Amino acid sequence: MAQVLNYINGTLQHALSGERLDNIEPATGQIYGSLPQSSDNDVALAFQAAKNAFITWRQTTLEQRSALLARIADLIDENLERLAQAESKDSGKPLSLAKTIDIPRASSNFRFFAHALTQFSSEAHESVGQNTINFTLRHPIGVVGCISPWNLPLYLFTWKIAPALAAGNTVVAKPSELTPVTAHLLAELCQQAGLPAGVLNIVHGTGASAGQAIIAHPEIKAISFTGGTATGAHIAKVAAPMLKKLSLELGGKNPNIIFADCDYPRMLEITLKSSFANQGQICLCGSRIFVERSIYAKFKEDFVSRVTQLRVGPPNHEVDLGAVISKEHRQKILNYIDLAQNQGGLLLCGGNKADVPQHPEGYYLEPTVIEVNDHLCRVNQEEIFGPVVTIMPFDSEAQVIEMANSVPYGLSASLWTSDLDRSMRFGQQLESGIVWVNTWLNRDLRTPFGGVKASGVGREGGFEALRFFTEPKNICISYKP
Ligand code: NDP
């Protein structure tokens, strides 16, 4: 049984109430462990530990801080197999994905910010002719809160924690209650790395209890959150009147736009991934596929044929799709598939629970393709966050830009074309934080990451993250010439 504990002031411990929650394995539908159900008392304890640790952590030299973060990255690499096994079991994702994407990225996050903090600098502004020099200090904020979702558990958890620590803050963090295990293992690795007590504190439990206590804590001055748009809006409502700094990475409904002049085989290969990787549970998945009419019939046939060959099964087998995160989430996805058909959508493949004989109680779903005739239908407007994509044809650039932008979200977009001028035109006009041309999920950690519209506020990545986790202070000196 995987027994998860809170990590507070350097020690692994139960919630003060002793209360625990079941942890369910999506692949089997069975309870296989438990975690603390923490409350505001546990968050208060974690906050106090973080507050005490801040006094010395903010004064550590950049070399010391960098070496500690790099040590954690090394330990993640050394424990790749164990962490990947845990991540796959906890979330239902294929083990191969956890081994090649999730866990390597978690160590890259720590290593990247171990380096970035040594290169981060502030600015000076000379007021020429006025005998005045301004220089800007970038101080850590203090104790910050980091809250992450279940789809890329350790990947997104560390994407927040690493820059927060690199910038000299101390942290109270909460992973999703649905996927707590790798955060627990990270705590053990932080102990092993010699991270000083209280610098990182991990509090487990539900969003309504542990998460709410973090966002409502009056002295936790910044919140970095990744999750659903409704939760993000709630966090803003609670935190904004307390004048907290907020970074909100929220949902997406990303367009995948395919022109006839694209590199077709490459596009097809990557479109399969951008549609169904991690069972479609990546905020960056392209869930609305728009195809130029001249190749629409061919694409439809080729794509559906490839999708029906995707293997769904136990995540520790050679499969393309594992299980979705929970029974409730699977039902939500199935409801959307019904809704799509009620609104005139045509089911081209999938649409049902997938039959996995080894685990009849697991939360499996067939990868699903739906042809729609109205880009404004609900299934094209609302985030499903599962292995479901829609396809529809388009006739002109202007039409597809209009359709692509006609959603509340604006996280990412993919464009497939060999026309450089067109890629620039789309890059300028698509309403999203990220535009990929002839690629997908291609990330350089130095680049800004985040969305517009209902996909969020603020940017992560590179120095953007270090700017978020620091408070600029300008010092203005007037001198006698
Ligand atoms: P949720 O918004 O439900 O949860 C995200 C995190 O917030 C979880 O840790 C959750 O806890 C916690 N939480 C829930 N309620 C509160 C609250 N009142 N106060 C504080 N914390 C709370 O999202 P999901 O976990 O369902 O994740 C899926 C969503 O995440 C999708 O919409 C997806 O698009 C988005 N996402 C966005 C990304 C981006 O970079 N823009 C990347 C990845 C995902 P618990 O689960 O324990 O209840």
Q: How far is CA 275 from each of CA 272, 368, 392, 441, 459, rounded to the nearest angstrom?
A: 5, 10, 14, 11, 24
Q: Answer for the pair 432, 412: CB distance below 8 angstroms, yes or no.
A: yes
pLDDT score of 89: 98
Write the Ramachandran bin of 472: left for phi over 0, alpha for psi from -120 to 50, otherwise beta.
beta
Distance 206 CA to ligand 1 centre (A): 11
Q: What three-state secondary structure class fits 100? A: helix
Is 471 catalytic? The answer is no
For 318, the token pair is: 């050679």
Is 283 catalytic? The answer is yes
Using a 10 angstrom Cβ sphere, with 0-12 exposed, 13-18 middle and 19 or more buried, the burial of residue 177 is buried
- The active-site residue out of 25, 87, 177, 249 is 249
pLDDT score of 1: 58
Q: Give dist(CA 430, CA 412) in Å, integer.
A: 9
Q: Which of 147, 247, 332 has most ligand 1 atoms within 8 Å of CB, for mutation?
A: 147
**Phi and psi (nearest 5°) for 286?**
-90, 100
Q: Answer for the pair 451, 323: CB distance below 8 angstroms, yes or no.
A: no
Q: What is the mean pLDDT of each run of 10 residues along the chain (481 residues)?
A: 91 98 98 98 98 98 98 98 98 98 98 98 96 97 98 98 98 98 98 98 98 98 98 98 98 98 98 98 98 98 98 98 98 98 97 98 98 97 98 98 98 98 98 98 97 97 97 97 91
Q: Answer for the pair 301, 343: CB distance below 8 angstroms, yes or no.
A: no
DSSP code, position 164: H
- Model confidence, pTM: 0.97
Ligand 1 in reach of 184 Cβ (< 6 A): no
For 462, the token pair is: 């590179």
For residue range 209-263, list pLDDT tens digits in order.
999 999 999 999 999 999 999 999 999 999 999 999 999 999 999 999 999 999 9
For residue range 354-406, list pLDDT tens digits in order.
999 999 999 999 999 999 999 999 999 999 999 999 999 999 999 999 999 99
**Phi and psi (nearest 5°) for 256?**
-125, 110
Q: Give dist(CA 143, CA 44) in Å, integer.
A: 12
Distance 215 CA to ligand 1 centre (A): 13
Partnered with residue 430 across adjacent β-strands are none
